[in-house]
Amino acid sequence: MTEIFDAIIIGTGQAGPSLAQRMTREGMKTAIIERKLFGGTCVNVGCIPTKTLVASARAAHMARRGNDFGVTIEGQIKVDMKQVKSRKDAIVKQSNDGVTNWLKTMENLTVFEGHGRLESPNSVRVNGDLLEAETIVVNVGGRALVPDMPGVHDIPYLTNSSMMEVDFLPEHLIVIGGSYIGLEFAQMYRRFGSRVTVVQRGERLVEREDEDVSEAIKEIIENEGIEVRLNAECAAFEKRGNQIAVTSNCPDGPEEAVGSHVLLAVGRKPNTDDLGLEAAGVELDARGYIVVDDELRTNVPGIWAMGDVNGRGAFTHTSYNDYEILAANMFDNDPRRVSDRITTYGLFIDPPLGRVGMTEAQVRESGREALVGKMMMARVGRARERSETQGFMKILIDAKSERILGAAILGIGGDEIIHSLLDVMYADAPYTVIQRAVHIHPTVTELIPTMLGDLKPLEVL
């Protein structure tokens, strides 16, 4: 059967449902297609469940640290993984139900459950139905990358998705990939009680960050008893009875790690391989991401792409901002653009990293004259009061314009505090605005003006 719509949205990630609401409110007869879980990665197998698990892991960690605060807990601290998972499932279900009910009761919207595939620039097939529309918006996200490492297909590896079903304690979890997703899982499972090894290909963890940030993160991770193996260029896998052996040419340690479970956290892959994009003539880049312009149009008139699939962001907030950009351009005659967005994200180990703008390495590369301020968390009263003094804050300022170029806050509350800097950047105000602001005592943010009062020229290396 062929059905005609004004717009078709493929995928219900972080942008599609909000766009569906806006389109239907604008009177457009709209279809939305979801092949699996309403709400996509973030709601079901990404941000929400992982942060829920991080919270359980922190509770276990703090219980073990009770003595540091004069709190005595009799007996051994035990983690009930079945209860940890059911708490996570309940919180995820709330969000998943919320999106599902929202979409299924939305006026003027038809929900199709199945895999959508483009058949032409203005038609999509889902199950047996052919849907046609002048406007098609792709919000299909991505999935865990499974690289062709030797032996990988002969072992029962886990990904961020299958980790969501784990309701037991792996005896020894080997995490392949020492970046944002891998480190979150590594720390949480260590805190649950597993032995954990992180195997990282590069010479340091989270290589996108500055060296001092990577080093401090390694220290945090290792302090909790996680083994970190760097320079593991040629990881290979082999099943040995109930165990899995991971070999690598790791110069800093033994060549082999043998564990009970392996988690692959080596990157993401866009869901563009089975979407019929070739039938519609939509251009992809070399890594399979949909090429879009600054307002999210693909090369095919009428087809747009939002979220991780366009390669212009890899976060929930960037996907949601894509919706805002598309809606502003489509309905409000407001030319919002992707390039107006300031890079910001978190790494949700504990304590977390909040990041905004350029790294120190990027500032140096740009060749501009800059100032740098740095303060160790050990100097921050709030951190000392809570006995959580790991990490530091660092900020980079353009010496001429006095604008904030970037910052990293690794430490207690870093993922929240970073927004005070982000907002000054969005206001396009000089750093002196926040330097002269009076902040609440005793908080971490109160020390940002102090750090800004002690800037040094960024020395050329």
Ligand X SMILES: Cc1cc2nc3c(=O)[nH]c(=O)nc-3n(C[C@H](O)[C@H](O)[C@H](O)COP(=O)(O)OP(=O)(O)OC[C@H]3O[C@@H](n4cnc5c(N)ncnc54)[C@H](O)[C@@H]3O)c2cc1C
Amino acid at residue number 68:
D
Q: For ligand X, which residue of 247, 316, 344, 390 counts as binding (CB under 6 A)? A: 316
d(CA 394, CA 410): 9
Is 153 one of the catalytic residues? no
Please state the closest distance from residue 47 (CB atom) to ligand X, in A: 4
Contact by Cβ (8 Å): 187, 350: yes
Q: For ligand X, which residue of 192, 289, 315, 431 counts as binding (CB under 6 A)? A: 315
Nearest 5°: CA angle at 35, between 32 and 39?
Answer: 70
Please state the closest distance from residue 360 (CB atom) to ligand X, in A: 23
d(CA 35, CA 18): 18
d(CA 124, CA 119): 6
Which residue is listed with tokens 């869901």?
271
Q: Confirm or reject binding of residue 270 to ligand X (CB under 6 A).
A: no
d(CA 340, CA 217): 30
β-pairing, 109-113 with 30-34? parallel
What distance lies between CA 270 and its chain's CA centroid? 14
Task: Give the 3-state secondary structure percentages of the chain, helix then strand then coil, rounded to 5.
Answer: 35, 25, 40
Q: Confirm or reject binding of residue 12 to ligand X (CB under 6 A).
A: yes
β-pairing, 227-229 with 195-199? parallel
Q: For ligand X, which residue of 10, 280, 349, 448 counts as binding (CB under 6 A)? A: 10
Q: Measured from the CB atom, is 271 or 445 closer to ligand X?
A: 271
**Options 6-14, 82-90, 218-226, 350-358: segment touching ligand X (CB under 6 A):** 6-14
How many residues appear in the chain?
A: 461
Helix (H, G, I), strand (E, B) or coil at 347: strand
Q: Confirm or reject binding of residue 319 to ligand X (CB under 6 A).
A: yes
Q: Confirm or reject binding of residue 188 to ligand X (CB under 6 A).
A: no
Please state the closest distance from residue 309 (CB atom) to ligand X, in A: 6
Amino acid at residue number 388:
E
**Options 201-209, 307-315, 335-343, 445-453: segment touching ligand X (CB under 6 A):** 307-315
Residue count, binding to ligand X (CB under 6 A):
36
Binding residues for ligand X restricted to 19-78, rule: CB under 6 A: 33-37, 40-42, 46-47, 50
Please state the closest distance from residue 211 (CB atom) to ligand X, in A: 24
Q: Confirm or reject binding of residue 100 to ligand X (CB under 6 A).
A: no
Q: Confirm or reject binding of residue 344 to ligand X (CB under 6 A).
A: no
Q: For ligand X, which residue of 140, 164, 421, 444 counts as binding (CB under 6 A)? A: 140
Q: Measured from the CB atom, is 284 or 452 closer to ligand X?
A: 284
Q: Confirm or reject binding of residue 280 to ligand X (CB under 6 A).
A: no
d(CA 96, CA 85): 16
Q: Confirm or reject binding of residue 275 to ligand X (CB under 6 A).
A: yes
β-pairing, 243-247 with 236-240? antiparallel
Please state the closest distance from residue 460 (CB atom) to ligand X, in A: 35
> Where do contacts with ligand X occur on this chain (CB under 6 A)?
10-15, 33-37, 40-42, 46-47, 50, 115-116, 139-142, 160, 181, 271, 275, 307-309, 314-317, 319, 348
